[in-house]
Amino acid sequence: MKIKNGFVVREVGGESVVVPVGEMSKNFHGMINLNETGAFLWRFFSEDHSIDEGVAALLEEYDVDEAIARTDVEKFAETIEKNGFAE
């Protein structure tokens, strides 16, 4: 999975927000808020990676159980797909 180009993650006041840029800002007018894990996964999937690679990356970055990591990555991927953010 790869997130479409045209988004940037901004850290403001301890929160992560995704902001559309360029052509994308003409089409997407909503707001995307991420928590720490969400911001990590957003950056990770800004390049093409599989779900398994996402789980491995999350396990390497955070002290978390594999089952929880997999659920998080799958849930993240589902939201990305559902909102049309994936290429």
Say whether residue 25 binds another protein (CB under 8 A). yes
Cα(5)–Cα(15) distance, rounded to whole angstroms? 21
- Closest CB 48 distance from another protein, rounded Å: 19
Say whether residue 55 binds another protein (CB under 8 A). no
Q: Strand 15-20 to strand 7-12: parallel, antiparallel, or no bridges (unpaired)?
A: antiparallel
Cβ distance to another protein smaller for residue 41 or 55: 41
Cβ distance to another protein smaller for residue 5 or 33: 33
How far is residue 7 CA from its own chain's centroid?
10
